[in-house]
Amino acid sequence: MLRAGAARVDITPSPGEAIPGQWLERRAVGVRDALFATALVLESEGRRAGLVSCDVLSLRNRTVHRVRAEADSRLGIPPERLLLHGTHTHTGPPLSDALGTAIDEAWVLRVDDAIAQALHAAAAALQPASIAWHSLLAPGLAFPRRYHFVDGSVRMHPAGDDPGLLRPEGVPDEGLTAMGVFGESGAPIALVASFACHPVCIGSAVEYSADYPGALREGLWALWGKEAQVLYLNGFSADVGPDDVDDSRCGYGEEGLRYLGSELAARVTPGLRQARKAPEVVIEGSLVRTPLEVRQPAAEALESARRALPGDLAEIPQDVVLLKARELLLLEREVQEQPVIDAEITLLRIGDGLIVGWPGEIFSAYGRRIRRLSPLRHTMPVALANGCHGYVPTPEAFGGGGYETWLCRSSKLEPRAGDKLLLATRDAMAAMRQRL
């Protein structure tokens, strides 16, 4: 018999703190909507699994290690059955030290503690439960953000009337997948939803916000009741966003944010209500480690960066050119310390559904391929799962260049990194298929 419990802990900073997610530093002047760390714990046949969704740009790799140790020793949730996820809102707490924003170590510890609290509360609330899965296509909600131009360049977020605009690059993953966890009364304990779209509706605002994942949460609460805990697991969305150059409903600002969140909630709800609820499910998890090389900055580029920034790198410049120079010099140190990264792929089976987590910002093509390879009917490819090692573009994307491929600490992996992760995922799913 399945048991489940869920809980959330508020992680909203006060105004005045930094907001990562843009090139230059921003300071919050207010709070648009609350940020949460939300946890779900499942138990079946003596096996426990945990899911955590946090309204943050990404979770620190050391956060993953800390929370794993806590969950394993005190809650009986081993690392292979725990998935920790950052929704990638660009208006969350100061956990990132990439580009122009300094990390706030006190906030890293506060979020670590909040995740642990949410997991403990969820485990303490375990009760008899059943699970329902539902998958559908949700077209018209996410769009390519990288475009080819007549000069041969690739740029993101173009204006629709730019005379140099040639064509979009890539195709969105339109899969929308949800898992409902219900108590004996039929009321939802938790609702888990996954879609692939960059959470940048709020744009360069200076208010804390969960972005459209928060609007999705509000939409699901309106349809199901606020007793349900809502976990959003963002898909492989590194090259797709909410901005449709041909439709003003989709894009940046309050209207786009509310539209995307409410549409996702409305589209997934009917099928989830009608889906079969299973009171007994198989829970199975595995971790697959894949070595990925880190790109080495060219000697000429490093020399140019040293001329631009001859002093201490501790100070963060608020100039894009100098920020790029600082990133190269900091990456040089990282490569010397760790030229190869062991990236972890997480595969978590829950009944008829499979969650596949990769630790980075992943191009959408890989999400579509994972769905095709999956041995199970319902599949959630989840980015920024159990930490982050930066962007994972397709090898083809490096030919056109653009922001996601520029060499820096948040885009440092070898061009074949995504293909290597996909091959390892394919092999792990093939092994799972044999056990079904």
- pLDDT tens digits for 31-85? 999 999 999 999 999 999 999 999 999 999 999 999 999 999 999 999 999 999 9
- pLDDT tens digits for 149-188? 999 899 988 877 888 889 999 899 999 999 999 999 999 9
Of how many residues is the chain composed?
Answer: 436
pTM of the model: 0.96
Residue 15, pLDDT > 60, answer yes
Query: What's the confidence (pLDDT) of residue 418?
Result: 98
Least confident of 146-155, 355-364, 422-431: 146-155
Query: What's the confidence (pLDDT) of residue 150?
Result: 93
Joined tokens for residue 34 = 């609350």
Comparing C-alpha atoms, which of 38, 44, 113 is closest to residue 81? 44
Comparing C-alpha atoms, which of 68, 37, 369, 375 is closest to residue 235? 369
Answer for the pair 195, 261: CB distance below 8 angstroms, yes or no.
no
Consecutive H or E run containing 83? strand 82-86
What is the C-alpha separation between 28 and 65, in angstroms, rounded? Answer: 29
Residue whose structure tokens are 């439960």: 129
The whole-number average pLDDT for the span 21-25 is: 88
Answer for the pair 352, 381: CB distance below 8 angstroms, yes or no.
no
Locate the domains of the chain by residue range.
3-287+341-435, 297-338
Side chain identity, residue 82: L
What is the three-class DSSP state of 30?
strand
Q: What percent of the chain has pLDDT over 70?
A: 99
Joined tokens for residue 47 = 């096996």
Side chain identity, residue 204: S
Query: What's the confidence (pLDDT) of residue 423?
Result: 98
What is the C-alpha separation between 293 and 335, in angstroms, rounded? Answer: 9
The whole-number average pLDDT for the span 357-362 is: 98
Answer for the pair 319, 81: CB distance below 8 angstroms, yes or no.
no
Side chain identity, residue 157: H
What is the C-alpha separation between 62 and 150, in angstroms, rounded? Answer: 43
- pLDDT tens digits for 376-413? 999 999 999 999 999 999 999 999 899 999 999 999 99
Residue 304, pLDDT > 80, answer yes
Query: What's the confidence (pLDDT) of residue 249?
Result: 60
Q: Cβ neighbours of residue 434 under 8 Å, at least 6 residues apart?
A: none
Joined tokens for residue 214 = 């928060």
Query: What's the confidence (pLDDT) of residue 97?
Result: 85
CA–CA–CA angle 120, 227, 282 (5° rounding): 60
Answer for the pair 355, 347: CB distance below 8 angstroms, yes or no.
yes
Between 102 and 218, the higher pLDDT residue: 218
Radius of gyration of the chain (CA): 21
Q: Where are the alpha helices (DSSP H) in 249-312?
A: 253-274, 299-308
The whole-number average pLDDT for the span 213-229 is: 97
The whole-number average pLDDT for the span 269-298 is: 96
**Distances from the Cα of 44 to the Cαs of 48, 57, 74, 215, in angstroms?**
7, 32, 18, 32
Residue 248, pLDDT > 70, answer no
Between 138 and 157, the higher pLDDT residue: 138
Residue 245, pLDDT > 80, answer no
Strands (E), 200-313: 207-208, 229-234, 240-241, 283-293
Quick one: pLDDT band at residue 96, thresholds 50, 70, 90? confident
> What DSSP line would sit under 161-194, residue for residue?
T-TTEEEEES----EEEEEEEEETTS-EEEEEEE
Answer for the pair 31, 92: CB distance below 8 angstroms, yes or no.
no
Comparing C-alpha atoms, which of 170, 156, 389, 140 is closest to residue 266? 140
What is the C-alpha separation between 145 and 197, in angstroms, rounded? Answer: 10
Residue 250, pLDDT > 80, answer no
Comparing C-alpha atoms, which of 355, 317, 23 is closest to residue 157? 23
